[in-house]
């Protein structure tokens, strides 16, 4: 059975994958840290020195006495964090392209027992604050789900970033109306290097209450950190993790890679590299006729509008990229493992395919 499965999976050459940053492998710093944690017998469920050190590293990173939890993936991190902030009759306001709305299979609603997600528009994946305010103040009666959380994604689903001032403006608005602020930071590192700012500047110092900080797409095998800057909001969060199957018994192997990433600086180096690959691709594609860059390239993805004949030719040639995310263009996602040579080859392939445009 295993053999059948293994042979039915197509061999994917490493050089040409731009579908997602989670196609990439585990970076050396994360793998080495995992290896170092693999020694003898160690207490389980997070009561170990690696997990303690990882929590401490995150506190130092943010210069904040935050409460930290490690869960297996981003869907769980977002859903459980939102559930901790909401009651079932509350609502969460987010961008219409937000991962919590489009890619989590209703998990945020499920784990909060019915909290409603309400969608605001905004160009380039960033919330339009007037639209957000309209959603919040539209109704104040008992028949409308009570707005309780503003959720922002940093970097956004469309590869843009909010500046520290933009984060602060959004959290100000939220606070004025009594809402808490959640940040989906699956690509938080990419935003930090893009803005060249301190992690605190786009999180707690700008008014974010809880951050779901991505590990997997940054170069780890798996795992995201749920970071509560307001410790009171984390009350009994460990029970939510356990009940939802997110409390790893061998927690050290999920926690240790954070030490490898943070202590070596790989979390920033990886993000910087991925961002620079996306910018190189933007530069390479900019002058190709019939190809249009759709959104400012501010993190590690590039969204491109191209005629169907071109994208089909690329798919036929074996290039992997998504076309269903965002406003319908092709999304090319770079990772720590993308090479400049990969970018040159992709650009050459696009150039060649563009000759098919009549
Ligand atoms: C990938 C991603 C997540 C996490 O997804 P999982 O597959 O559940 O780990 C969350 N938010 C955004 C914006 C993402 O791109």
For residue 223 and ligand 1, the question of a CB distance below 6 A is answered with no
334 lines ligand 1 (CB under 6 A): no
Order across the sheet with 67-71: list the strands. Answer: 67-71, 224-228, 210-214, 180-185, 146-153, 90-95, 116-120
Distance of CA 54 to the CA centre of its chain: 19
Per-residue pLDDT, 123? 97
Q: What is the pLDDT of residues 58-88, one digit of tens each?
A: 999 999 999 999 999 999 999 999 999 999 9
Q: Does 21 sit in the ligand 1 pocket, CB within 6 Å? A: no
- Among the ranges given (115-119, 211-215, 323-327), the one the predictor scored with the smallest mean pLDDT: 323-327
User: What is the Å distance from ligand 1's center to 141 Cα?
Assistant: 34
Q: How far is the CA of 357 from the centre of ligand 1 (A)?
A: 34
Residue 204 DSSP code: G
Q: For ligand 1, what atom is nearest to the CA of residue 72?
A: 9
- Which atom of ligand 1 is found nearest the CA of 22? 1
Q: How far apart are CA 125 and CA 98, in angstroms?
A: 8
Q: Ligand 1 centre from 74 Cα, in Å?
A: 5
Residue 95 near ligand 1, beta carbon < 6 Å: no
Which domains are assigned to the chain?
Answer: 2-24+267-354 (3.90.1150.10), 28-264 (3.40.640.10)
Task: Identify the band that residue 355 occupies on the pLDDT scale cut at 50, 70 and 90.
Answer: very high
What sign for the dihedral angle of Cα 267, 272, 277, 278? positive
């Amino acid at each position: 059975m295993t053999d059948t499965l293994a042979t039915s999976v197509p061999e994917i050459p490493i050089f040409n994958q731009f579908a997602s940053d989670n196609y990439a492998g585990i970076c050396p710093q994360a793998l080495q840290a995992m290896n170092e944690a693999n020694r003898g017998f160690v207490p389980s469920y997070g009561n170990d020195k690696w997990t303690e050190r990882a929590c401490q590293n995150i506190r130092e990173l943010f210069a904040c006495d935050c409460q930290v939890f490690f869960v297996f993936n981003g869907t769980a991190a977002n859903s459980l964090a939102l559930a901790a902030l909401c009651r079932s009759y509350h609502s969460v306001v987010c961008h219409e392209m937000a991962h919590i709305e489009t890619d989590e299979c209703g998990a945020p609603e499920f784990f909060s027992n019915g909290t409603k997600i309400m969608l605001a528009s905004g160009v380039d994946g960033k919330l339009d604050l007037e639209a957000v305010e309209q959603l919040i103040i539209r109704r104040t009666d008992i028949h409308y789900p009570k707005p309780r959380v503003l959720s922002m994604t940093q970097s956004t689903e469309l590869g843009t970033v909010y500046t520290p001032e933009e984060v602060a403006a959004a959290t100000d608005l939220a606070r004025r109306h009594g809402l808490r602020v959640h940040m989906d930071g699956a690509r938080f590192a990419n935003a930090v290097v893009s803005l060249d700012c301190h992690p605190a500047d786009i999180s707690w110092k700008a008014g974010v209450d809880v951050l779901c900080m991505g590990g997997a797409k940054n170069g780890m095998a798996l795992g995201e950190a749920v970071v509560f800057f307001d410790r009171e909001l984390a009350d009994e969060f460990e029970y939510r993790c356990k009940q939802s199957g997110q409390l790893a018994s061998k927690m050290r192997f999920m926690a240790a890679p954070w030490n490898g990433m943070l202590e070596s600086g790989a979390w920033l180096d990886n993000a910087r590299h991925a961002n620079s690959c996306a910018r190189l691709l933007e530069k390479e594609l900019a002058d190709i006729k019939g190809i249009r860059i759709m959104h400012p390239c501010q993190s590690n993805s590039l969204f491109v509008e191209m005629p169907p004949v071109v994208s089909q030719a690329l798919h036929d040639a074996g290039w992997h990229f998504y076309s269903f995310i965002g406003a319908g263009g092709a999304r090319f996602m770079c990772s720590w493992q993308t090479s400049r040579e990969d970018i040159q080859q992709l650009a050459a392939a696009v150039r060649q395919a563009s000759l098919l445009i009549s």
